[in-house]
Structure 1
Amino acid sequence: MRAPLTPPGPVRPASPSRRLLPLVGAAVAAVLALAGCSSEEAPVVTTAEVGRGDVQEVVEAPGTVQPRASSTVQAPASGTVATLQVADGQRVEAGQVLATIDSPQARDALAQAEEADEQAAAPGRSSSSGRTPAQLAAQQRRARADAAARFEEAERQAAQLPDPVAREAALAAVRSSRTQYDLLAAQTQALVEQVSAGLGGVDDAVAALGQAQRVQTRAAVTAARATVEALTVRAPIAGTVSLAAAGGASGGLPAGAESLLQQGGLSLPQGALAGAGAGGGSSAAGSPVLAAGAVVSAGSPLLSVVDASVLTLTADVDESDVLRVQPGQTARVGVDAVEGSAYRGTVTSVDPSAASSGAGAVTYTVRLSYDGGTAEGGEPAPTPLPGMSAVVSLVVAEARDVVTVPAGAVLRAGSAGGEADSDSVWVVRGGVAERRAVTVGVRGDDVVEVTGGLRGGERIVTGGAADVEQGQQLS
């Protein structure tokens, strides 16, 4: 039931200000609503004509400047540095005497080896008088065990020789003697077995045993004498001496670099070295750690010699990119320590073995020649030093005078706003956006090559492509 109407009272006309309030409120609400719906600015769509140009596809990787050769010289035996005949940063030639080591232990080992060799060669050593077959067999077993231990010691001594040529020669001599000994020992074993079976003479077996022992003692003398001769430490290669071999493991410049810097007139910004300062208590590069009277142990690093007459580069390329890197490809190189200079390199090889980082990344070492550089003013750039860090930009693909579009114009297959199975661009025809599939060749960072689907002179969307819709009107 409708409620009864009450008679209206006198109506007072509204004031102009009261009449405007509802209108103003509605307008403000509309503005706020629009602001809420378009809090972000509308995407800016830009267009341009398809042109032609050059495209390079580049893979970037961290790199390091490498010397032609670098050799760390190890102590041939335990002892003390008797003389030190070079200074840190000094240039030396291959074979030049660097230091001498005083090692009573090495000289005692040589004396003992020579004494054992003399005893093995002494007349009457191979006499069979009073020996039974059982005694002869026991002697032969002891001799083989003793020879095995002595050959291992001889190989250990030979492996510690600092000169690689002397080291390989000594190792070859010891191994050859060991092979010869094994053959003689096998013959001796056969003779001992014949004696035990009553089929052979004891004299022949004893003589064979003595001959085998002499092979072993001569090998021991060879290794011990080579160690004593190596106490005169010589430069394995020509180059610059570093007396801070222990500090070189920190990953910075090799020791001795200070003098090279001064010679090249190159200033080194702080923090320009990859890994510099790492390694805890190791000495800084360039700080001498070897001096006369220093105590050294066999196999410990004494010093290093760096040959920087020819430089090379290495780059650690990610596994996802390395298959596109081939010998002969060129590279642009930026050296961290030399701002503003552009260096060049050429790929020479790709290491087949991978390296894994602690984070699980897998990289491959790419080796490059160093092809010089140009400074900002056009003059030759300062020559970098071994160990300097760099950024290597490898040109893995290149196309010249081809149809090109900005990289932002291409909607990658499967990307936001792109087609599922093909790359595409927005072509503007009559002011209307029209999607068109394209075939992309070389992909550069800024521009890409289009090998199919576009012609030079056509207008395409170059900015805001992901927000354009089919049929959209574009001015």
Structure 2
Amino acid sequence: MTDKSALLEQLRIDHSARAPQPGPWKRWLAAGAVLLALAAAAAAILGGEKPPEVTTVTARAAGPGASASVLDASGYVVARRQATVSSKVTGKVVEVLLEEGRRVEAGQVLARIDDVNAQAQLALAQSQLAAARSQLTTVQVQLAEADRQLLRTRELAQRKLLSQQALDTAQANADGLRAQLDTAKQNIGVAERGVTVQQRALEDTVVRAPFAGVITVKNAQPGEMISPLSAGGAGTRTGIGTLVDMESLEIEVDVNENFINRVQPGQPAAARLNAYPDWEIPCTVIAVIPTADRSKATVKVRVGFQQKDPRILPEMGVRVAFRENTAEKKDQPPQGVLVPAQAVQKQGDGGVVFLVREDLTLERRAVKLGGGDDRELSVLGGLSGGERLAVGDFAQFTDGKKVKLKE
């Protein structure tokens, strides 16, 4: 029994000497700490945060011929001279000789209207003129005979062979025929004017171009009715087509009335069509219309092109940059520098640029902006010219941050 008791005593586990074990949540916490340490070590091995890639542009000093923009505005190309060509009379179109995009000269035939009725009216007027002329011939013959009869009657009366009453009758007959002759001549004049009117009515059936230009819209087709006035029906046209004088193209811009003091007639400007944003067209302010639009608080400004081009079309959208008048400032030295617009982060009337130092770190600098456009801005303060400026994602730019130049 003693041996068995000793053996059992050796197999007994001593719970008092066991070390306390951590709970499950403590084991998970320890594992997370290990993972964070491994991530930090991996970031250190990879070399830290990757610097952003940028491109650089150079700020250049404004030259003697540089002219900064004082105001930017949007507008449309309009034709100062255009017309909806129509006939003077109501009738059916029998021939159309115009097409969109075709250039026509002044007086060129564009369409013809049915002229059957006009031809008939002209023939009637010509017949009336012929009848009036025949009537004149008849009266002339009768008057000649009456004058001879008056002469014989007067001779016989002087010889006391005829009475005074016979002489008076012959005189009255001659005077009456002479009055009929005057009436016949007037009737001929009226008939001639009637023929002229009918000839013009016949000419009105031919539609001609009032001036040289390009057809932009074709409205009518052969067989349709056309009228110079609206007839109220869907089948009646009021015009053959639209003619535009391309030499009269200009720009109409609505300028906010708060900035209209920056625009004067004769001021230089530069226009960029929305269809050709890289093409700068030299322009000049023609006039500032002396009235404001109450609903939009704008003033209309007319801007003329200094050069014509077939690419400029009516109703195109355009952006105009009004320049400083260099004639007024030719004796003043140039001020400020010119900077590409994509290198400036605008903030109200000023802006922020980031200079690229020699060690490829950024330097944040506030600048004072002048005028400009979508491509280039004038900087009046903060830069002297020649600085390298960073272009890229401004959200990643901070003062002193390391950058990498794009190849």
TM-score interval, normalised by the smaller of the two chains = 0.3 to 0.5
TM-score by length of 1: 0.40
TM-score by length of 2: 0.46
Between structure 1 and structure 2, the one with the greater Rg is: 2
